Structure 1
Amino acid sequence: MHRWTDLRQVPADLGPSVVTIGNFDGVHRGHRSVLTRMVRSARALGGSAVAVTFHPHPAQVHRPGETPELITGLADRLDLLAATGLDAVLLIDYTLEFAQLLPEEFVRSYLVEGLQARTVVVGRDVRFGRDNAGDLATMIRLGEDHGFDVEVIEDIHGPQDASRRWSSTWVRELLAAGDVAGAADILGRPHRVRGTVVHGDARGRDLGYPTANLGQDMRGTVPADGVYAGWLRRPGLPDGLPDGYLPVAISIGTNPTFDEVQRRVEAYVLDRTDLDLYDEEVVLELVARLRPTVRFDTVEDLVTQMAKDVARARDLLAPGPLVLGASEAD
């Protein structure tokens, strides 16, 4: 998949394209349903399937400090978009200056002249241009003026709640409640948190469970405090090498037994004490919540519970990551 950050990078001979616009936070199953349909339409047209997205998220520019944490960081968002079969993503640097473009200016410069759009795929609630003045009616009118079709995508609902459409907001609510399994139903995969492994206080090693501690530069929404079963992926290793995908028990919280105040995300690789992951970027995929975070009266009680947590995680993860939905396929 081509990744363009400027219209000048788009090939002049791109040819006709099928284009959609969105933030695609989480790249959940609703997003992927739209994107895979786009890819099929582009193939039938003999053109390219292109998604237009933004970084940073527009809400972070217009309402800094008031926006929710993004479900996925930029690297994971682009990887997940690529997995849908798109030919290219145009990643627009979202600034207050860009936000001043009139709807007509945005469509003409980016969709018509820049990407040679033959079809533009949008939802009924699409908004674009200065002050979000452009809507579906605007897009249809501009399509008539500039010679592209507008395909309207209806809301996509999941089987677990037919009254509610799949959405990034719903995923955030589930993660805030610690329901990573429910979030995975909407995402179509385990939720991811990415970060660099840093040195901790080595308490886990002293207790017999050495952990990989993620630094405070983590990307991706950190779910509610608790203990989780999941997978640790090492994207820096070449595909096919051993130890690239490892089962883990993940602790999220402040370690109340030791009266700590800093919230941490740390992962114990099941039955392994020989790994050196320091300074390595890893991805944690959270499959199931085992229990909430609790304070134990003694360290011995904590260690006993940790052994139970590891045993549960081992049983849960035994089928392997593909069975549990780590595949990008729906």
Structure 2
Amino acid sequence: MRLLHDLEHVPPEVLGGALTIGNFDGVHLGHARIVESIRRQARAVHGPTVVFTFDPHPVRLLRPDQTPPPLTWTRRKAQLLAQLGVDAMIAYPTNRALLELSAEAFFQQIVVDQLQAKAMVEGPNFYFGRNRQGNTALLGQLCRQHQMALEIVEPMQLAGHDEIISSSRVRQAIAGGDVEAARRMLTEPYRLRGMVTHGAGRGGSLGFATANLEAIDTIIPAHGVYAGYVVRQELTHAAAIHIGPNPTFGEGQAKVEAHLIDFAGSLYGEPLELAFLARLRDVHTFNDVQQLTSQIHQDVEAVKLSYSDWLTPRVA
């Protein structure tokens, strides 16, 4: 998959394909449905499958105080889309000039002139151009004028629920600690990233060394203990993840830390990614270290089971 950050020198193999435009934050099942459609359209026009996204989210420029916390960083988004079969992702630098383009000018300059798209796929709530003046009705007119196929894909609902899957709904689930609900809406378990820094070192003395993460640039789940895994150098390790303070030791500052199960070695200064599979429990204050250690042993066993369950369908 090609990841482009501008349209200055678009490779020929990215031109003349099927295009979809949107933020694709989190890459959830609704996004996967759109990708399935653009792949079908791409085959019909004998061109590539192209996703055009904005970096950063336009809201960050227009209403910075209302900017939602992101679910994915750019390279992670590209990775997830590549797994769905996308040929190229354009993370276009959002600026005032882009946001001031009329809907017609945006379509002409981006879709027609620069990407030479032959087909488009969008959801029914797609808006484009200055002040979101363009909608799917106008998009349909513009596509017809340029003999371009257009498919409108209906939103996806989670099985057994009336609510539509959306990035906002995924954020809400994660913020509330319901990472399992988020898993059901996403194409992959929710993942955040950060840099490993020095902590108090208390976990090592208890026999459960932890990696403390800082500089996290995506949404952080609610306080609690989670089953998950760490992604390090393209390998995964089962991990018990603690988010919140350590009240047993009188620490009120919230932290994000992970105990990598059956892992030995130093991680200080490394970038690390944490993926969340299930929420195990709340953060508790324990009467003594022995009680805490006993609970951690239980947490580790629960993590192993959750991680094993996650691996099973992947190797089947």
Using structure 1 for the length normalisation, give the TM-score: 0.90
2:311 aligns to what?
A: 322
Moved more, 222-231 or 35-44: 35-44
Q: Does 1:246 align with 2:237?
A: yes
Q: How does 1:91-130 map to 2 (within 5 A)?
A: 91-130=91-130
CA deviation map 1:210-257 (0-9, x unaligned): 001111x113321111001111111xx3x6xxxx21111110111122
Structure 2 unmatched ranges of 5 or more: none
CA deviation map 1:247-275 (0-9, x unaligned): 11110111122232332111111133x22
- Whole-Å separation in 2 of the counterparts to 1:73 and 1:94: 15
Tell me how far 1:23 sits from its aligned partner: 0.2
Q: How does 1:250-329 map to 2 (within 5 A)?
A: 250-272=241-263, 274-319=264-309, 321-323=310-312
1:229 aligns to what?
A: 227
Moved more, 125-134 or 257-266: 257-266
Pick closer, same or farther for the CA change 1:203–1:13 going to 2, 3 Å: closer
- Whole-Å separation in 1 of the counterparts to 2:275 and 2:236: 10
CA deviation map 1:107-147 (0-9, x unaligned): 00100011111111111111111011111111112112233
Q: Find the residue that maps to 1:323 and give its secondary structure.
A: helix
Tell me how far 1:324 sits from its aligned partner: 6.3
1:59 aligns to what?
A: 59
Q: How does 1:96-245 map to 2 (within 5 A)?
A: 96-161=96-161, 163-215=162-214, 217-234=215-232, 237=233, 244-245=235-236
CA deviation map 1:144-168 (0-9, x unaligned): 223312211111112131x111111
Tell me how far 1:48 sits from its aligned partner: 1.1
Report the count of equivalent residues: 315
- Whole-Å separation in 2 of the counterparts to 1:12 and 1:56: 26
Pick closer, same or farther for the CA change 1:66–1:324 going to 2, 3 Å: farther
Pick closer, same or farther for the CA change 1:302–1:14 going to 2, 3 Å: closer
- Whole-Å separation in 1 of the counterparts to 2:149 and 2:45: 12
The percentage of aligned residue pairs carrying the same residue is 37
Tell me how far 1:13 sits from its aligned partner: 6.6
Using structure 2 for the length normalisation, give the TM-score: 0.94
- Whole-Å separation in 1 of the counterparts to 2:187 and 2:313: 10
Instruction: Give the RMSD, CA atoms, in angstroms.
Output: 1.8
Conservation of the 8 A alpha-carbon contact between 1:232 and 1:248: yes
Conservation of the 8 A alpha-carbon contact between 1:204 and 1:211: yes
Structure 1 unmatched ranges of 5 or more: none
Pick closer, same or farther for the CA change 1:177–1:303 going to 2, 3 Å: same
Conservation of the 8 A alpha-carbon contact between 1:14 and 1:116: no
